[in-house]
Amino acid sequence: MEVIDADQVARYVSAPGMPACDKIIKEFGERVLGRVRPGREILIDRKILSEIVFNEPGAREKLERIMVPIVGDEIERRLIILYGGEKIVVLESAILIEQGFANDCRPLVVVSVSREVQVQRLMKRNGFTEAQAHARINAQMSNERKVNYADIVIDNDSDETELLRQADITYDNLKLMIERGKGS
């Protein structure tokens, strides 16, 4: 099984010299640049860009207009390389459904978590305030809506052991679906 993480792909395509980097700088200006150290490449400061995207009206849409096609092309390139080798490729993406790719990724597994747990995890992992956590969650499609698109739902309100148990069961079920010719 291979995993393609859309966030990692986004980091890759927005690195210096890659397709999205200059477009992001052109759209958002030099304020998105990190500190420049002598002899080092200029990097986009993802924390600054994130603050802009989640606090300035229209900024998220501008970033998505830049990133979605470029990230999509890179994911497609990686899928072509994997095609024929791996039968199961996991595409991890928070906005896959919102961007209209749900039908391209069947069977679709949605990992769902209650809003309360999601807020607590964002605060702990990212050091967000409660308001910042809610702003991030509100910027995405709700879990309740995402579940409606799912072929399989994994509940992530419990601990990591339970999540891994559900993931193992899901993986076994996916293998069976593919053997029976029901996966795409």
Dump pLDDT digits (tens) for 92-115: 998 889 888 888 888 899 999 999
Contact, 156 vs 163, CB < 8 A? yes
Pairing of strands 89-92, 152-155: unpaired
Give the pLDDT score at 36: 66
63, HSE (Cβ side, Cα atoms, 13 Å): 20
CA distance 86 to 64: 29
Q: Which residues contact 80 (CB under 8 A, 6 or more apart)?
A: none
Q: Which residue has the tokens 């792909």?
A: 9
Domain ranges of the chain: 1-91, 94-184
Would you say the CATH fold of 94-184 matches that of 1-91?
Answer: yes
Alpha-carbon span 97 to 75, nearest angstrom: 15
Residue pLDDT, tens place only, 5-29: 999 999 999 998 898 999 999 999 9
Distance between CA atoms of residues 172 and 178, nearest Å: 10
Are 105 and 91 within 8 A, CB to CB?
A: yes
- pLDDT, position 83: 75
- pLDDT at residue 183, rounded to an integer: 54
Residue type, 32: V
Q: Domain 94-184, CATH 3.40.50.410 — does that match?
A: no
- Neighbouring C-beta atoms of residue 121, cutoff 10 Å: 14
Q: How far apart are the first and last CA of the chain?
A: 14
List the CATH code of the domain at 1-91: 3.40.50.300
Question: H-type helices in 2-84, by residue range?
Answer: 6-13, 19-28, 46-55, 59-82
Q: Residues of the chain whose pLDDT is less than 70?
A: 36-40, 84-87, 182-184
Can you give the length of the chain in residues? Answer: 184
- The pLDDT score that the predictor gives to residue 139 is 86
